Amino acid sequence: MINKLTIIGIGLIGGSLARALRDAGYVREIIGYGRSIGNLQQAMELGVIDRAEVSLPDAVRGADMIVLAVPVGNMAEILNVLGPVLPDNSVVTDVGSVKGSVIATARPALGARFAHFVPGHPIAGTEQSGVAASLPDLFQRRRVILTPEPETDSKALARVRAMWEAAGAEVAMLPAADHDRILAVSSHLPHVLAYCLMDMVVRHDDHRAILENSTGGFRDTTRIAASDPVMWRDICLANRDALLDALRQYHADLGAFVEAVERGDGKWLCETFTRAKHARDGLNKKI
Ligand code: NAP
């Protein structure tokens, strides 16, 4: 049970976590901290938070759990202010989509209290942003990856694990570098591809006709191109090396498709499509 939960950044993820924990009866009081008064007011009106604060030291005073749910590019400014005002006995965690860069910022910013910082990433979300898009069941049966460091306090880790389990999630552990390498392929690359395809189409001479005749496949493939551009810019830059590896591999594989189509190689295309279809059918069974 959390007595006082402070969520820094009451958007899709922060708002959904607040709703899930409230529904589970796992938290007594939820404080929201954010940049814009409008968003915080909306969070109050929706009943997502009990109280809003626009001062970070005031927001975290007396909190036993602090969740950083701002875009990856804004983590550093928050962590640097948080370090000197962190209450005793508080546990800090984050939901950022890249772990190595957040950990590299948190270690010097939090100093000795870094042991009470538990890096995390819920593998759940939508292309929507903001508290109005938050959902109480967003994390139900979804995976949350925690990436503790050697110095992470085991009791802090247990408290963060218990919080996510109360929100309905299944918790897994990974080293941060493995997380960033895997998510570069499973999440960051697909977002870049969706943005790239959508942007290619809007710059196409026939863009109006293409969009008027857009198929379900086009809509499915580009759905995540409606995601927040600033958030995804930050993720791409924060996970630069792993994303570059994934992009280069994809670029080479796309080149193989170009060559197969050029030489009219139906056998290669069918074998490749069949291998991919089997893999995708298997994924459907796991969901
Ligand atoms: P979001 O809906 O845009 O919410 C972000 C919130 O952070 C907004 O309420 C924003 O406040 C606030 N914020 C931004 N900069 C701030 C600052 N400097 N100080 C205080 N508040 C600030 O974004 P989200 O989708 O919830 O993403 C939040 C985090 O979750 C990101 O780190 C992302 O990588 C991670 N994540 C996202 C997904 C996903 O599918 N979206 C999935 C897993 C993890 P204002 O409204 O006032 O700007």
Ranges in the chain, pLDDT < 50: none
Distance 210 CA to ligand 1 centre (A): 33
**Mutation test residue for ligand 1: of 97, 143, 236, the one with most atoms within 8 Å of CB:** 97
- The C-alpha atoms of residue 182 and residue 179 are separated, in whole angstroms, by 5
Distance 123 CA to ligand 1 centre (A): 15
Element (H, E) at 60: helix 56-60
Query: In CATH terms, is domain 178-286 a member of 1.10.3660.10?
Result: yes
- The C-alpha atoms of residue 58 and residue 194 are separated, in whole angstroms, by 40
- The C-alpha atoms of residue 58 and residue 76 are separated, in whole angstroms, by 19
- The C-alpha atoms of residue 96 and residue 72 are separated, in whole angstroms, by 6
pLDDT at residue 110, as a whole number: 97
pLDDT at residue 284, as a whole number: 77
Domain boundaries, the chain: 2-174, 178-286
Residue whose tokens read 């390498």:
181
Q: pLDDT digit string (tens) for 67-95?
A: 999 999 999 999 999 999 999 999 999 99
- The C-alpha atoms of residue 138 and residue 126 are separated, in whole angstroms, by 9
Instruction: With 0.75 as the threshold, say if the pTM is over it.
Output: yes
Instruction: Output the ligand 1 site: residues, CB below 6 A.
Output: 8-14, 34-36, 39, 69-72, 74, 77-78, 95-97, 121-122, 125-126, 129-130, 228, 231, 235
Sequential DSSP letters for 150-216:
TT--HHHHHHHHHHHHHTT-EEEE--HHHHHHHHIIIIIHHHHHHHHHHHHHHTSTTHHHHHHT--H
Options 3.40.50.970, 3.40.50.720, 1.10.3720.10, 3.40.50.1970; CATH of 2-174: 3.40.50.720
pLDDT at residue 128, as a whole number: 93
Q: pLDDT digit string (tens) for 131-178?
A: 999 999 999 999 999 999 999 999 999 999 999 999 999 999 999 999
Task: Evaluate whether 2-174 and 178-286 have a shared fold.
Answer: no
